[in-house]
Amino acid sequence: MEMINSGNQEKTSTGPAGSWGFVKSLPGKLKSCAVETVKKTKKIGEDDPRRIVHSMKVGLALTLVSLFYYFRPLYDGFGQAGMWAVLTVVVVFEFTVGGTLSKSINRGCATLLAGALGVGAEYLASLCGEKGEPVVLGLMVFFLAAASTFTRFFPNVKRKYDYGVLIFILTFSLVAVSGFRVTQILQLAHQRLSTILIGGATCMLISIFVCPVWAGQDLHNLVAANIEKLASFLEGFGHEFYGPSAVDGSGAISSKNECKPSFLEAYKSVLNSKATEESLANFAWWEPGHGRFRFHHPWKQYLKVGAMARECACLIETLNRYVNSKHQVASEFQIKIQEACIKMSTESSKALKEVASAIKSMTFPSSGVETHTQNYKAAADDLKTILETCSLPTEADLQEIMPALVVASVLLDIIKCIDKISLSVHELSRMAGFKKPKSTATALPEKQQQTTLLHRGIVKPVNDITDDDDHVVIEVHGTTSQDSPEMKNVHPPQGLGEKK
Amino acid sequence: MEMINSGNQEKTSTGPAGSWGFVKSLPGKLKSCAVETVKKTKKIGEDDPRRIVHSMKVGLALTLVSLFYYFRPLYDGFGQAGMWAVLTVVVVFEFTVGGTLSKSINRGCATLLAGALGVGAEYLASLCGEKGEPVVLGLMVFFLAAASTFTRFFPNVKRKYDYGVLIFILTFSLVAVSGFRVTQILQLAHQRLSTILIGGATCMLISIFVCPVWAGQDLHNLVAANIEKLASFLEGFGHEFYGPSAVDGSGAISSKNECKPSFLEAYKSVLNSKATEESLANFAWWEPGHGRFRFHHPWKQYLKVGAMARECACLIETLNRYVNSKHQVASEFQIKIQEACIKMSTESSKALKEVASAIKSMTFPSSGVETHTQNYKAAADDLKTILETCSLPTEADLQEIMPALVVASVLLDIIKCIDKISLSVHELSRMAGFKKPKSTATALPEKQQQTTLLHRGIVKPVNDITDDDDHVVIEVHGTTSQDSPEMKNVHPPQGLGEKK
């Protein structure tokens, strides 16, 4: 009941507003409920207008196939089987192109295979005589259904072929059992396959050519947006934790950045993004090349970047607990370290923003990432120096300095995490063949040439600390690769390693 | 292809081991691949033997329904419609009872409704004359399909009625369009509904009465297991971070607890448990009362407990970064605070274990939770006192004390989180009517009677700090309720508030 009501209300809401007049005569409760639903409908539509387009696409595909079924000339050719075209459209049309393709292809292949097996089973069973046949058929259906159902628990099968296995069981049972009744089994198979093909092809064509929603593009955008959310938090954090005066004094954040609390909450959605990312990556796997994505774009690498973003979001969750303590009077110690901390936070935020915009524009991360990486590393070094040399009054209350110290420590962890994110985005750029900015590297020593070969475009680090050579290659030490064993084979870009 | 191979291999593996002889004649690569698959199959089956049972249940249901379709007496009554029973079994049989019920009920109701609407649409269209009919039908299919598809984006509809909407669109299109051809539309509807009922009922009965897998029970166990994983980490953490000697010295962990690294990784699965918990809660909503779960058990409360467990897991993720630094030489400062920290970690671990076992046994959290809560709060107070009074050498290297201090601070956050978990589990016990241990509270002053009314069984806190009265009620102050605005209406159990 409920779903039907929503359906009708939704439909009405897309009509002219004037048609709501009749609601007034109904009791107030029903009216407010309807108004609520209209508002919700509007919000859902506004949040992602592609949803409205998708609904119309489903309507279009279904109408086309229904009319195909309706008109006699076609109907005569296919008989009742035309029904399967309608059924196919309803069940395979998904929001993304990848989802539709995955279901259509699974359905087509599974029907073909299961049909062939079913005919075989039917033939085998018929050899066993009148009495043996139902027993043999029953046993075969039982074992095949049980075995196929079990394969659905295999993670690989579950990810890509779950729907195919379902259709396989379905078709096999139908063919094996109904085969006994319908003598023209081959004609039936031909009809059914043709109609499924018609339904599937209609879905695929409409899904690809009418305002397509690419799962790959969505995954790409989601990963970039998640990195941006982390950046927004880090940008706003200095302001919130140390107070506006501290930040403005350091000049690190321009005055136009007003830290809204929403900036400080956006990262929470990153924490729970795993399921969405994985399903998008699964669908993206099925999509043909589109726009600047090739057929086998490295979708798995997006999952790696996403996992690191979640790790970083977890640290940010810890950091966020200290934002509430902003109203305390800054201790002497906090003032000593706050400049370095604010710099770490804002520079790492800028580095993340550069990384996110590189993903968005599908280019190698710009030299800006390099610059900001150098800057936050320098700030981290400054912080470490302050911590080493800082003298506290002997009767210091450690509870007072604890928040500042914990924040500093978590920020140090966060920048390690950001190093890993940059590294895996670099790897992504390489694997996906992102565009490279014009190289300025010429006549480098051989070893350096090798190092920069993969990372053309970040050859010229703008190093504001100790560089006296434009093309210096900073050796990469254990820190980053220790932290991420899966990254061991990745050639790290310059400057991301820690200096000794 | 791949899924079919896995299917066959899996099937073979369930047969006698001797049947693998033929593999030897195939190339080595194929053989090793097959062996790999068998191993994987075995592991998947061993991980959760209910999967094997489920596969057999699907096989059984499908065989029953297929044979029903196969035998002529029944076949004659239902015609081709018997196919729909097979189809229904394949698509609605889910792993959990809730999943099966949700799909069966959705399918049944949606078919009924859409069938009625379809007949209505067909009748309306027939009023428009020969030429108008296809146009009107096409428009109706288009608008109904588009509107219904859009409702699938409503979170509420998506959660509970997604499959119903799908079947609604399907049936409406089939009836509206095919109605033109089949004059005996009511007979068709009757046939189809009966067969769907037979398929659905077979699934529901087998799913409920043959080794049922209750989604509610699974959710219940999952939430308890997640809390236990957090407890395992906290139990092992002291050992790992401060070294075995520190822990053994304090006598807090008995020698039988050998901290395997797996204990320290288990919590990671808690971080990504949100999607599983939500789908289980959705399915559980459909389940009838079973065992000690009533029909409308407070499943949503499990989601709240789960969310808090994830919050705690996030803090543990931060803590886990410091486990690797265990080989450092303990600084003088660390030795000062480690006893309190180890106590906080082990006592909070014990409290969590008590909470988890209370959930498992479906009783109110025992007085043990109370005791451990008091203990870790006392340890936290000790820690705070040490931090306040501790004097550092003026030339102290803050970098050296930083890990110890951060760990202490995160542990303080963790115990706040654990307070919230206990509180919400108490609320769950109350809402779900868990069993209460025998009350020992008699002749209390009226106010205390009221306070203990809801929490009989934790009336007698074993308070090892300052209690001189067995029945003292510690007033609850702001800390816990401030931290959790959604908990404001919850009556907190004694001793969970912070003492002034």
Q: Does B150 touch chain A (CB under 8 A)?
A: yes
Type of residue at B411 = L
From chain B, pick out residues whose CB is under 8 angstroms from the CB of A157: 2-3, 6
What count of other Cβ atoms lies within 10 Å of the Cβ of residue B13?
21
> At which residue do the structure tokens 């998708």 appear?
A54
Using the predicted structure, report yes or no on whether residue B499 has a pLDDT greater than 70: no
Quote the pLDDT of residue B401: 77
**Dihedrals phi, psi of B214, to nearest 5 degrees:** -85, 125
Nearest-angstrom CA–CA distance, A381 and B36: 49
Single out the residue in B386, B414, B432 at which a domain terminates: B432
The answer on A168 and A148 residing in a single domain is yes
Using the predicted structure, report yes or no on whether residue B21 has a pLDDT greater than 60: no
Q: Which of A10, A173, A408 sits opposite B62 (nearest CB)?
A: A173
* pLDDT 10s digits, B146-203: 999 999 999 888 888 999 999 999 988 888 877 555 456 777 777 778 888 888 999 9
Structure confidence at residue B495 as a pLDDT band (50, 70, 90): very low
DSSP B366: P
* pLDDT 10s digits, A214-256: 999 999 999 999 999 999 888 888 777 776 665 554 443 333 3
**Dihedrals phi, psi of A363, to nearest 5 degrees:** -120, 165
Structure confidence at residue A173 as a pLDDT band (50, 70, 90): confident
Asked if A402's CB is within 8 angstroms of B173's CB, the reply is no
Higher-pLDDT residue of A143, B116? A143
Q: Does A123 touch chain B (CB under 8 A)?
A: no
Using the predicted structure, report yes or no on whether residue A459 has a pLDDT greater than 80: no
Asked if A83's CB is within 8 angstroms of B80's CB, the reply is no
Determine the average pLDDT of the residues in A126-133. 82
What percentage of residues in chain A have a pLDDT greater than 90? 28
β-sheet bridge partners, residue B248: none
B316: Cα within 13 Å, side-chain hemisphere: 33
Q: Does B392 touch chain A (CB under 8 A)?
A: yes
Quote the pLDDT of residue A224: 94
Q: With CA atoms as reference, report the closest residue to B339 among B371, B380, B373, B391.
A: B380
* pLDDT 10s digits, B335-367: 888 888 888 888 999 999 999 999 998 888 888
Q: Which domain holds residue A181?
A: 34-209
Angle at B412 between CA A412 and CA B346, to 5 degrees: 110
| In a domain? residue A453 | no
Q: Does B67 touch chain A (CB under 8 A)?
A: yes
The answer on B268 and B183 residing in a single domain is no
Do A355 and A234 form a contact (C-beta atoms < 8 A)? no
Mean pLDDT of chain A: 76
ipTM, interface predicted TM-score of the complex: 0.76
The answer on A277 and A199 residing in a single domain is no
Structure confidence at residue A7 as a pLDDT band (50, 70, 90): very low
Asked if B70's CB is within 8 angstroms of A137's CB, the reply is yes
The answer on A129 and A97 residing in a single domain is yes
Using the predicted structure, report yes or no on whether residue A486 has a pLDDT greater than 70: no
Q: Does A211 touch chain B (CB under 8 A)?
A: no
| In a domain? residue A403 | yes
Min mean pLDDT across A222-231, B28-37, B269-278, B449-458 is at: B449-458
Q: Smallest CA–CA separation between B402 and chain A, in Å? A: 7
Min mean pLDDT across A21-25, A447-451, B411-415 is at: A447-451
From chain A, pick out residues whose CB is under 8 angstroms from the CB of B321: 413
Domain count of the fold of chain A: 2
Single out the residue in B416, B432, B448 at which a domain terminates: B432
* pLDDT 10s digits, A389-417: 776 655 566 777 788 888 888 898 899 99
Quote the pLDDT of residue B148: 93
The answer on B226 and B144 residing in a single domain is no
Q: Does B164 touch chain A (CB under 8 A)?
A: yes
Quote the pLDDT of residue B10: 38
Angle at A187 between CA A181 and CA A189, to 5 degrees: 85
Determine the average pLDDT of the residues in A68-72. 70
Structure confidence at residue B265 as a pLDDT band (50, 70, 90): confident
| In a domain? residue A5 | no
From chain A, pick out residues whose CB is under 8 angstroms from the CB of B10: 147, 150-151
The answer on B393 and B287 residing in a single domain is yes
| In a domain? residue B181 | yes
Quote the pLDDT of residue B438: 58
Using the predicted structure, report yes or no on whether residue A47 has a pLDDT greater than 50: yes
| In a domain? residue A19 | no
The domain that contains A269 carries what CATH number? Answer: 1.20.58.220
The answer on B55 and B169 residing in a single domain is yes
Those of residues 179-198 in A touching chain B at CB distance below 8 A are 180-181
The answer on A129 and A221 residing in a single domain is no
Nearest-angstrom CA–CA distance, B49 and A374: 54
The answer on B371 and B336 residing in a single domain is yes
The answer on A223 and A188 residing in a single domain is no
| In a domain? residue B476 | no
Single out the residue in B403, B432, B461 at which a domain terminates: B432
Using the predicted structure, report yes or no on whether residue A465 has a pLDDT greater than 60: no
Using the predicted structure, report yes or no on whether residue B220 has a pLDDT greater than 90: yes
Nearest-angstrom CA–CA distance, A58 and A52: 10
Q: Smallest CA–CA separation between A216 and chain B, in Å? A: 20
The answer on B221 and B121 residing in a single domain is no
| In a domain? residue A451 | no
Using the predicted structure, report yes or no on whether residue B331 has a pLDDT greater than 60: yes
Those of residues 275-294 in B touching chain A at CB distance below 8 A are 275
Q: Which of A138, A150, A388 sits opposite B10 (nearest CB)?
A: A150
Q: Which of B70, B149, B170 sits opposite A87 (nearest CB)?
A: B170
Quote the pLDDT of residue A402: 81
The answer on A270 and A178 residing in a single domain is no
| In a domain? residue B499 | no
Q: Smallest CA–CA separation between A269 and chain B, in Å? A: 12
From chain A, pick out residues whose CB is under 8 angstroms from the CB of B134: 67, 70-71
Nearest-angstrom CA–CA distance, A225 and A305: 12
* pLDDT 10s digits, B393-404: 555 667 777 888
Q: Does B69 touch chain A (CB under 8 A)?
A: yes
Those of residues 309-328 in A touching chain B at CB distance below 8 A are 310-311, 314-315, 317-318, 321
* pLDDT 10s digits, A418-457: 999 999 999 999 888 888 865 544 333 344 434 433 343 3
Q: Does B170 touch chain A (CB under 8 A)?
A: yes
**In B345-354, which positions are buried (b, 16+ CB within 10 angstroms) versus exposed (e)?**
bbbbbbbbbb
Q: List the single residue in A with minimal CA-CA distance to B43.
A: A154
Using the predicted structure, report yes or no on whether residue B324 has a pLDDT greater than 50: yes
